[in-house]
Amino acid sequence: MAKIKAFKATLPQPHWFNEILKNEEQGLFDLRYCLEARGSLKIDQRNRDEIILKLNQLMDEKLFENDLYQCIYLYGQQTGDKTTYGFCMLTDVADYEDQDIHKHEKTILEKQARLTDYRKYIGIEGSPVLLIHRPHWRLNEIIADITLQSAPLIYDHAAQTHYIWRIIDVEIIEEITELFTRIGNVYIGDGHHRLASAAASKSITKPYINSLYVATNQLKISAFNRLVFPSEPLDKECFFQHIKKYFFVSPVPGNIPYKPDRLHRLGLCFKGEWYQLDVKPALMELVQLPDVIIIQDKILDELLGISDPQSAENLFYYPESAFAEMLEDGATSLDSIILTVFSLSMNKLMEMAEDGKFLPPKSSYIDPKIPFGLLMNIQALIARDDCVV
């Protein structure tokens, strides 16, 4: 179940935001850098003052506007010939604390602490957390009715088109709200850190968080790969002696960066050379585990001494879409180690969450994700006396 409610989103001016999307690497980066205080190690009142000044400037120039009505927003994301839909609304943080929202990953403590400070001082929610539920026939009907009967706001760039429909009809809002009270299990798709920080700061901030609810049949799940910079150089013979206890090892022909094509098969780059690792089938205790746990327990912990990935400063994570960036970063050190994985299935992720079994941080990358700034919630900031937006 989920306790949700409508809210007044802050929406960007379409033509201006389309230009931001076209220049995603710089445009969205600059927007996030400013509104999330990305250049500051510590979040404090000074950051708050600077962000309010910038936000007021954007509002004065009509580049962002606060919605006039309490809405639930139907969001559509089209990539190629496929369009994914979800409902954007506020979720009661108590659902997370009461474990009505199922977690499947541990958080990175430093990141969680920074987000908690950000929420306490500033509280802008630049994009919603992604929450997952099983399909519901009536929600599908509502989506079909809305998309056929009303025109959306459209934000477009080469790779994707984003659609936003405002739902302001009180009866429909009440029906959606009621439907989600009996939607069944809800899972975190993206936003473990933000939900944890919202719970940690609940006593001094609004107890709701901006959320996008998407049915499981609308999702795309992909892998998070790992890059490690060992604290000291590793001997090749000793390294592979350990690896071969658990895996069959095969050099990759042509030394081409390797992406696994099945579960229990990993890619490994060690000292610039690529290998295919296959879990030994006879090791029954391993073949029952997700690959991200095998990597954590048998390679990162036993071999590299990274027992706590939540606080490790030499371990970095890259989604499949950042594969080239990972290779580039890994090439900066001959001693770097890259580990590539095959993605978890959605069913396996939900099974782990329902059983209360936590995966290591960054175990899955789930789409769709709404671009930062497209459906913002700044109501917590507006509610404070020193903000005039």
Mean pLDDT of the chain: 91
Contacts of 158 (CB under 8 A, 6+ apart): 22
Same domain as 244, residue 106? no
For residues 352 and 104, what is the distance between their CA atoms, to the nearest angstrom? 6
What is the percent of the chain where pLDDT is above 70?
Answer: 96
Same domain as 153, residue 205? yes
354 is a domain residue: no
Tokens, residue 369? 């994700």
Same domain as 212, residue 116? yes
Nearest to 338 by CA among 191, 227, 210, 194: 227
| pLDDT score of 353 | 84
Predicted confidence band of residue 161 (pLDDT cuts 50, 70, 90): very high
Same domain as 105, residue 48? yes
Tokens, residue 383? 């509610």
Say whether pLDDT at 238 is over 90: yes
Across 107-116, 182-191, 252-261, least confident range: 107-116
Nearest to 381 by CA among 13, 52, 37: 52
Q: What is the value of pTM for the model shown? A: 0.87
Contacts of 27 (CB under 8 A, 6+ apart): 19, 20, 21
Whether the bond into 361 is cis, omega within 30 of 0: no
For residues 169 and 362, what is the distance between their CA atoms, to the nearest angstrom? 38
| pLDDT score of 250 | 97
Q: What is the DSSP string of 291-319?
A: HHHHIIIIIIITTT----TTT-SSEEEEE
For residues 267 and 319, what is the distance between their CA atoms, to the nearest angstrom? 14
350 is a domain residue: no
CB 69 within 8 A of CB 166: yes
Cα(first)–Cα(last) distance of the chain, in Å?
Answer: 34
Nearest to 93 by CA among 179, 238, 211: 211
82 is a domain residue: yes
389 is a domain residue: no
Q: What is the pLDDT of residues 328-340, one digit of tens each?
A: 999 999 999 999 9
Same domain as 25, residue 141? yes
Same domain as 213, residue 71? yes
Same domain as 240, residue 177? no
Domain count, the chain: 2
Say whether pLDDT at 175 is over 70: yes
CA dihedral 17, 40, 110, 269 (to 10 degrees): 70
Say whether pLDDT at 387 is over 60: no
Residue with the two structure tokens 């960007």: 12
Structural domain containing residue 252: 224-342
**Range among 164-168, 283-287, 304-308 with highest mean pLDDT value:** 164-168
Same domain as 12, residue 58? yes
SS3 82: strand
**Residue predicted with more confidence, 21 or 12:** 12
Same domain as 247, residue 121? no
25 is a domain residue: yes
**Residue predicted with more confidence, 181 or 159:** 181
For residues 90 and 70, what is the distance between their CA atoms, to the nearest angstrom? 11
| pLDDT score of 205 | 66
128 is a domain residue: yes
For residues 27 and 160, what is the distance between their CA atoms, to the nearest angstrom? 16
Same domain as 73, residue 173? yes
For residues 298 and 316, what is the distance between their CA atoms, to the nearest angstrom? 17
351 is a domain residue: no
Same domain as 114, residue 21? yes
Strand partners, 12: 64
209 is a domain residue: yes
Tokens, residue 10? 């802050």
| pLDDT score of 278 | 97
| pLDDT score of 264 | 95
**Residue predicted with more confidence, 25 or 70:** 70
| pLDDT score of 157 | 76
Element (H, E) at 325: helix 323-330
Q: What is the pLDDT of residues 194-234, one digit of tens each?
A: 999 998 887 666 789 999 999 999 999 999 999 999 988 89
Same domain as 119, residue 15? yes
Residue with the two structure tokens 């009967």: 149
